Each structure stands twice: as structure tokens, then as C-alpha cells.
Structure 1
């Protein structure tokens, strides 16, 4: 009997020890599992995450465009020293907030007025190459009149030259603005400028539709007169502006700018528009042939800012609206 009690006590003791050991093992297992799921804070992992340097804006800049000469222009750094060889590109650069990056201009670049403080490098067709090189530009932008010889000489000495002689219409103007934006890292601002211009053109189109015109007035845009006459032909940029302003261009069938007195007389314009600042309106009123034109007799010779309407830049949308208001005075009310 005593032996049975002793045996029973040993069994109970053994079971108790086994139970306690099981609890201890479970506790250790939970601790190990916790160690495995905890986030690692080892020095090796931290060093690996922070070992890759971030790119700066200039290091990330890499853009290529094809200019009007068919040449690919690639820039791997935003330009800091820009020379403009055309009034239109000067106005584009300034509209994109890049006036402080410009170091040179042509003698015809006069807007905005503050730009006239920059050094001149000559005219638009044959600027002084040495003067340009001395300014140490990292980008030269030109349009329309810059000669191939000048472009070639600048490229020979390693200067990036973008020649943007785009189509003579609004689409060409938008393209020039967008390409300058790409080259200078001001894409977003260029998109804003183009969007604003397009909105002005669209608003004018709606306003003209509201006039319910049954017949379009005949318009002649004159840039020179005397022994020879010059006006905007149908294939010129100003020719497109006349059309968009809700008028018929009497020189629509003319290519370029040369027109004869016979063609002017046959066109019999209702309105003549001339660039301001050259006294053309007053001179026409006292000059043979011109003083007998119906538009001159009726006092319908109007002046418009010649720079803004002839330069394919951001101001040309405003020039379009101005011309439309000259032709259709009711639009200005």
C-alpha cells in the first residue's frame, strides 16, 4: 500500500515537471518568433538604403529637339547664358521668365524695354559672330533672317544654336514657344503661354460669330508705299491674321510682300491698316494715287503696333484681337 502511494507520488511529480518544461519551451518559441518579425535596424541595411545619391535638377536635364535646319540640338544642362538673334525669340524667352538668363540680343530686340540694357550683337541676318562668341553663350536662339553662314560658324566653335524658323502661322508660333520651353526647362510655362494665346484666338472666333457677318470687309495691310508697294500677301503670317480677324485680304492671291498699284486699286480695300510709328496714314492722305483710294478718302486708314503683329511671339494673339477691333469696332465695346 505504501509502495503504491509512493509510486503515485512519483508519477504526479513527473507530470508536473513535464508540464512546467512545456510552458518553458512555449515561452522560448514565442520569443524567437518575435525576434524574426521585428523590423531590422542593423547598420548594414541602413547604409544600403542611404548609399544612392539623389540627382540634382541639372543632372536630370536632358533634352533634344530638331530645329528648322534639320539639326538635332541636345542639351544636358539648363542654359544659363542665352543670346537671341531675333526679336521674336527675345519676346518668347522673356515671356518664359528667362530674361535674367539672356546675355545678348540684336539691335532690333526692343521688347520688353528692359531688354535694351543687354549688349547688342548686330542685326538679325548677319550679326557679329565674334561678339557672340565673346559673350560665352551656352545657347543661341534665332529665327527667320539668320544666315546659314552665321549658324555654321557658331556651331563650328561648339556653340549650341537653335534656328526656329517655324511656319508662318499661329501653329508655327506655338511650336517655336514650345521648343524654346523644352530647350530651357520651362516646358510648363511655355504650355501656359500657348494655352493663353489659343484661348484669346478662340474667344475672338466666338465674338466674330456673334456679329453674324453676311459680307466680310476687304482689308489691305500695307508695310510700304511710294515707287514700290509692299503689303501682306496671302501666304504671310499677317495674311493669316487678316483672315482670323474676320476680313478678306485684297492681296490674298499675292505671294510674299510685293504688290502693284493696279492690284491695290482693283482690290479697292474698305480698310487699310498700317504699322504705327512711321506716319504712313498721314502720308497716304497727301500722296498721289493713295489719296484717291476709297479707304483713304473715307478716313479708314488705321494704325496698329507693327512689332507685335509681325513677330511670331506671345504678343501676336493680342495683335490679332487689336486688328479685329480695328476692322470691327463693335468688338471693342
Structure 2
């Protein structure tokens, strides 16, 4: 009798799982209907890889893009290229139930043409990140996990804001995401994190999330603090006119009012995903270590 009851329970659980249809509309306007939550996932964007793992489904990943590096477990997975050069044949050979990608990935249409379910998700703002996490949680069959993860991010944002020295509140930041230069504007998820920390932005929301700027415009904006990768920050004084930026000048023999993030921390800050609260703490920690605001 005990064996019969156990078998019946297992059959009932299998029936529930098999019938757990998943319906999700992605950021490209495609509606996906899956007979069950996917068990084999390829992720072609580091932030999406991190999100899948943070939602408790890292074991379902069978392949990732070349830049994915968190959590440590993903470093053992096959590397399948990037936005411009994803390796189609290797992706198909992995027999994924679903492929996660950005809309800008060149491979999306080709993979769909080969019959794969490709879910495209983009996150440029905090609202986008929340929607992406909730959508992935739904896709994974764990809808409640998305809300829990977002609540944890919110708690970290609130705690990080409390760490920012009062003298830096309201000060304007230039946050560089590429040396062309491209900046994180007020409309971006980075800009919104800065806002939550009580900081301003030299790039108004009207210019879009990540606009390319005229280098002279940055000089004219006279940011109170500059944030970038450590490498980019080291190169900035060599740009025409940038050696005069007050934020880059040494203060009392110490580095200027600038945050140069080392690679691991910089990746943390520029990825829109489950570690966004940690990123806020990294920014707050840098500000707390700077000379007082002028």
C-alpha cells in the first residue's frame, strides 16, 4: 500500500509538472508558450545568466556567453560566443528548451528560424530589471522568487543610500561606460541607482539611458565626481582638456574625487541584474572613501 501511494503521488506530481504551461511575452513582442518550465537553458547575456542563478535555477543552464563569470558555477559551462558572434551550431547541439538573449543579439532570428524558443529580455532601467526578474521567475516555474529577489535588491538600495556621506548628496556624477565616451544617463539603471543614493547626473534623462557624448561636453559639465573602470580613469587625464577636470585633480596628496572600479566591481556595477543592490553598496563605499565634497 505504501509503495502504491508513493507511486500515485509521483505520478500526480509528474502530471502537474507536465501540465504547468508557461506563457511569457518577451521584450521583442513574442509570446512564448511552453508545455513546462524549461530544464535546459542557454543564456547569451551575463546579467540574464546571473538572474537565472539568483532565482535558484543555475543547474538548468547548459551554456553561456563568453563574458558570464558569476556565480562561480557558470565558469564550468560551455562558452558560446557573444552578441555579435554566438556559435549557432553549438547552441543547437545543446538542445536547449529556451535561449535567453538581448534584442540586439544578431543570432536571434537565425536561432528562431531553426526552431528554437528565443526569449529576448532587455534591462535599461530599474523597472526593466524588476520586470525581467519577474518574467524569468515565471518562465522557471518559480513566480514568487522574482518578487523576493526584487525585495532584497530594494533593501540593499535603501541600506546603501544610508552609507553615502551627507556632503555628497545632490552632487553630480559623470559615469562612463565606454571611452568613446558613452555615459550612463539619468534614465539608465545606473543613473537610477545614483539617484537612489541621493546623487545627481551630468547627463539628463532626456538624452537617453546610455548616450554617446561630445568629450568637450563632459568638460563643460564639470562633474563633482567621476566614475568609471579603473583603467579608463587612469587614461582620462590624457584626453584633450580633461586634465583640467576638478574631479580628476589630486586632493591633499590623495586621488581626486573619482571612483575607478577594478574589473570585478565594475562588472558588478554595469550589469542590470540581481546584484544591483551590491553595486549600490560598492558605489557608496567609494564615496565614503573620497575626500570631502567641495
TM-score, normalised to structure 1, is 0.73
- Shift of residue 106, structure 1, vs aligned partner: 0.8
Counterpart Cα distance in 2 of 1:198 and 1:214: 21
CA RMSD of aligned residues (A): 2.4
Distance 1:287 1:265, change over 3 A: closer
Counterpart in the other structure of 1:260: 214
Across the two proteins, how many residue pairs are aligned to each other? 270
1:270 partnered with 2:224: yes
Larger radius of gyration: 1
Distance 1:94 1:63, change over 3 A: same
Counterpart in the other structure of 1:22: none
Distance 1:300 1:215, change over 3 A: closer
Q: 2:117 aligns with which of 157, 160, 185?
A: 160
1:314 partnered with 2:271: no
User: Does the Cα contact within 8 Å between 2:219 and 2:242 map onto a contact in 1?
Assistant: no
In the TM superposition, what are the counterparts of 1:196-215 in structure 2 within 5 Å? 196-205=152-161
TM-score, normalised to structure 2, is 0.82
Counterpart Cα distance in 2 of 1:65 and 1:77: 12
Q: 1:122 aligns with which of 71, 81, 95?
A: 81
Counterpart Cα distance in 2 of 1:71 and 1:284: 42
User: Does the Cα contact within 8 Å between 2:125 and 2:187 map onto a contact in 1?
Assistant: no
Counterpart in the other structure of 1:132: 91
Which structure is higher in RCO with an 8 Å CA cutoff and minimum separation 6? 2
- Shift of residue 113, structure 1, vs aligned partner: 2.9
Structure 1: gaps spanning 5 or more residues: 1-49
Structure 2: gaps spanning 5 or more residues: 1-7, 251-255
- Encode CA deviations 1:293-316: one digit per residue, 9 max, x unaligned: 101113112123221222111011
Q: 2:170 aligns with which of 216, 222, 235?
A: 216
- Shift of residue 79, structure 1, vs aligned partner: 1.5
User: Does the Cα contact within 8 Å between 2:27 and 2:103 map onto a contact in 1?
Assistant: no
Counterpart Cα distance in 1 of 2:84 and 2:130: 23
1:179 partnered with 2:135: yes
Q: 1:283 aligns with which of 207, 221, 235?
A: 235
SS in structure 2 of the partner of residue 219 of structure 1: strand
Counterpart Cα distance in 1 of 2:177 and 2:168: 29
1:293 partnered with 2:249: no
1:54 partnered with 2:6: no
